[in-house]
Amino acid sequence: MEEEMAVKVFDLEMPGAERSFLAECEALRSIQHRNLLPIRTVCSAVDNRGGMFKALLYEFMPNGSLDTWLHPRAAPAAGEKAPKRLGFSQRVNIIVNVADVLDYLHHECGRPTVHCDLKPSNILLDDDLNALLGDFGIARFYADSKSAPVLVVRIDTDYWF
């Protein structure tokens, strides 16, 4: 059986790329929730030029990111369908999915985790438009809930409606 995968290759020339790779590995190794993007495997090897190669393979999400649904990039070409739009109940379901996984990360998993990069392009949608949170490259992990910071968050409603 063939399975489609999404591959995230890390540009190790970029500052912080190695740390980002390790943060994602740590998050995905120790945290499981129905609204987290499922990882299939990790690749860390030497490429054909002797340089390091690091990549993560994720389950492919056929409906792409929330960003593409909220902000279609261009008008459809001749003969193409207009971009799909999310209905109110679908938007509410996505918000509930994201709130559920954030509550889990902050309060219920073994080590409190703050994602630090919540945005529509990091929310992927499965076949049924369930939201899955991805990209833990700048996540912060805390020993316990007492060491986790208290944050004031501003939400820009332009992302959601």
The type of residue at 54 is K
The type of residue at 97 is N
**What tokens does 34 get?**
């129905």
In a domain, 80, yes or no: no
Residue 152: predicted pLDDT: 42
In a domain, 76, yes or no: no
In a domain, 81, yes or no: no
Residues 6+ apart with CB under 8 A from 51: 12
In a domain, 46, yes or no: yes
The three-class DSSP label of residue 141 is: strand
Residue-range definition of the domain harbouring residue 123:
5-71+86-159
Evaluate whether 36 touches 132 at the Cβ level (below 8 Å).
Answer: yes
Residue 5, H or E segment: strand 5-9
φ/ψ of 99, rounded to 5, equals -60, -40
Q: How many domains is the chain built from?
A: 1
Residue 104's CATH number: 1.10.510.10
Show which residues are catalytic: 117
Residue 112: predicted pLDDT: 80
Question: Which tens digit of pLDDT belongs to each residue from 72-87?
Answer: 876 666 666 666 789 9
Q: Which residues of the chain carry a pLDDT beneath 50? A: 152, 154, 161
Share of the chain above pLDDT 70, in %: 77
